[in-house]
Amino acid sequence: MTDRLREHGTVVGEGKKKRTVTVSRRTVNMECECLARAIGHEWRVLWPKLKRLEEPRDKGQALSPAQENDLLTHAANNKSPFLLPFVRIALLTGMRLGEIRRLRWSQIDLDKRTLTVGTSKTKAGTGRAVPMNLDLYSTFAAHASWLAEELGPIEPTTWYVFPFCNRVRPVDPHRPVTGIKSAWEAARKSAGVSVRFHDLRHTAYTKLVEAGTPEGVIMALMGHVSRQMVERYSHVRMDAMRQAVDKLSITGPDRRIAPTKESTKVERQAAKAAAVN
């Protein structure tokens, strides 16, 4: 364990296939916490001299409205038929890439306008229900129509929302797409936006926070169980803070009013009473 904490990585494979697999400090901390829970004691009790690794707090960012618009425009022009709906779903739900990639049509209810997230990174995230707004509903409806044209009537119980494809068209709906990395990088670079796909989740968080959404609602939508995670993912922008302080305006005078004889007399009496007490 100490070696893992010290190096944050390990060498796997042999010969030409040998490579170093690195892990983040957060991953190391989470693994230690899981091990401690499995043993049945708290970390500090088991390993009092083993300190938590300091986790970087500057990871993640929220896209500005201009960046978001540029990214969507270039995603729409990308040759991948999956990139635009992937990006829209992430921005409209805050879902993780893996959660979107593994979606099945059985998890999508267009009649009730809800989707159910499958296996997630957290226990709280697995099986959470996410309501669809009009934009999200339109995204799924349009994608379903396109997919039916390509492969025939959708089989909800067995088909993936994003089937295995050959980059330009779906091939096997019983297997999920392996990823969208190439399409994502191409669209991101052409849009001139330096972000990760996971930052779309940060963007959704930030919008909810700036809109004044209750903390409990955010946690339910995003599948988190702690206030710390809400704070980690939200990036309140300067425009939102300016709008917030504007709400602190008052209607009283903006400068001191010259005291009258009566007000001065009352102030002296109040000061005298306070001194006596």
DSSP-assigned beta bridge partners for residue 163? 176
Q: Look at 189 and 31; give whichever has higher pLDDT.
A: 189
Asked whether residue 267 carries a pLDDT value surpassing 60, the answer given is: no
Q: For 5-23, how does the pLDDT look when each residue is reduced to its tens digit (9 = 90+)?
A: 544 544 444 555 555 556 6
Q: Look at 27 and 237; give whichever has higher pLDDT.
A: 27
Could you tell me which residues come within 8 angstroms of residue 101 by beta carbon, excluding any fewer than 6 positions away? 162, 176, 177, 179, 180
* Residue 93 shares a structural domain with residue 7: no
Give the residue-averaged pLDDT of 223-238. 65
Q: Look at 199 and 246; give whichever has higher pLDDT.
A: 199
* Residue 24 shares a structural domain with residue 109: no
User: What is the rounded CA–CA span in Å between residue 142 and residue 67?
Assistant: 24
18: containing domain: 2-46
* Residue 97 shares a structural domain with residue 177: yes
* Residue 145 shares a structural domain with residue 102: yes
The CATH number that applies at residue 154 is 1.10.443.10
pLDDT of residue 225: 53
* Residue 15 shares a structural domain with residue 91: no
pTM comes to 0.67
Contacts for 13-19 with beta carbons within 8 Å, 24 or more apart? Answer: none
List the alpha helices (DSSP H) in the chain.
Answer: 2-7, 25-39, 43-46, 65-76, 83-93, 97-101, 134-151, 181-191, 199-210, 215-222, 227-233, 238-246, 261-276
* Residue 25 shares a structural domain with residue 110: no
Asked if residue 100 is part of any domain, the answer here is: yes
Nearest partner of 99 among 120, 82, 73, judged by Cα: 120
Q: For 63-122, how does the pLDDT look when each residue is reduced to its tens digit (9 = 90+)?
A: 999 999 999 999 999 999 999 999 999 999 889 999 999 999 999 999 999 889 877 666
